[in-house]
Amino acid sequence: MKAFFKNILSLFSFIFNLKNLKYYWSQIIIVIVPIILVLFSNLPSAIASHWIFISLFILALILCVIYSLNISQELMIKIRDVGELEHQNNDLTSFLQTTPERVIKSIYKYLDFGYTERITVYRYADSHFVPIGRYSKNSEFKKGGRNRYPNSEGYIGIAWKQGELIIDGLPDPDKQFKGYIREVKTKCNIEEIVISEMRMRSRSYYCLNLDNLNGDPIAVIVFESTNESLPKKTTEIKNLLDSSFGHLIVDMINMNLPPGRRAV
């Protein structure tokens, strides 16, 4: 019995909630009318003598139901529109997040890089570098590495401090692995174990800072190859980055990529 009265109270609480009245007031009238007929047994005789007023009441009730159905339909349309907007927003966010990688891929193709090259953009944030875009035709080289790199480590750390860095002619790690490690360690601050665990042991690098409109560096872009030298001259690469390609990467970094997003 207690459960029955509890359900009745819950029903009336829902019915007379002001927020629910906005959409369900005509249904509330439909519920209340039969209750009135049961509680007031003399009402049928009164209805017979006032049938004109009752007819008008029923007509008004029908109009209420129609109006309520229209309100409900409008509500469903609004809910659907909100869902579509959220879907479009998610699609736009996904597109913006992949835009730097799309630009990098365009640069890669323009420079006619092959399976022995890779391009990566590292954004500077909180004394670390965060990879936000990477491309290589070589699927193994394209894979992401660490989530972030200390600003004092590797060639990107040197490039950040001096604006750019050119390295070429490193020993072939497949033939002179120890010599390769020794040569890399003499040129930059990096642990031997880090070099050993590198998925791509490049022999040539071109690292260049990317500056915002104020001329302040915000990222480092790295061109690297497992060959003794890059397939394009560094002057040609730099001229390309001074064009709309470089500006587009900077704009995308400023517009949509918070520090911490990892390259795919």
Of 50-54, 130-134, 206-210, 224-228, the range with the lowest mean pLDDT is 50-54
Domain that holds residue 16: 2-88
pLDDT band at 58 (very low <50, low <70, confident <90, very high): low
Residues 245 and 179 occupy one common structural domain:
yes
Where is mean pLDDT largest: 17-26, 140-149, 174-183? Answer: 174-183
Q: What is the pLDDT, as a whole number, of residue 146? A: 83
Determine if the pTM surpasses 0.75.
no
Of 40-49, 119-128, 210-219, the range with the lowest mean pLDDT is 40-49
Concatenated DSSP letters of 185-220: HHHS---HHHHHT-S---SEEEEEEEE-TTS-EEEE
Q: Which residues pair with 125 in a beta bridge?
A: 128
Q: What is the pLDDT, as a whole number, of residue 92? A: 40
User: In 3D, which of 114, 198, 113 has the Cα closest to residue 155?
Assistant: 198
Residues 106 and 152 occupy one common structural domain:
yes
Residues 58 and 120 occupy one common structural domain:
no
Q: What is the pLDDT, as a whole number, of residue 263? A: 38
Q: How many domains does the chain have?
A: 2
Residues 106 and 52 occupy one common structural domain:
no
pLDDT band at 243 (very low <50, low <70, confident <90, very high): confident
In a domain, 167, yes or no: yes
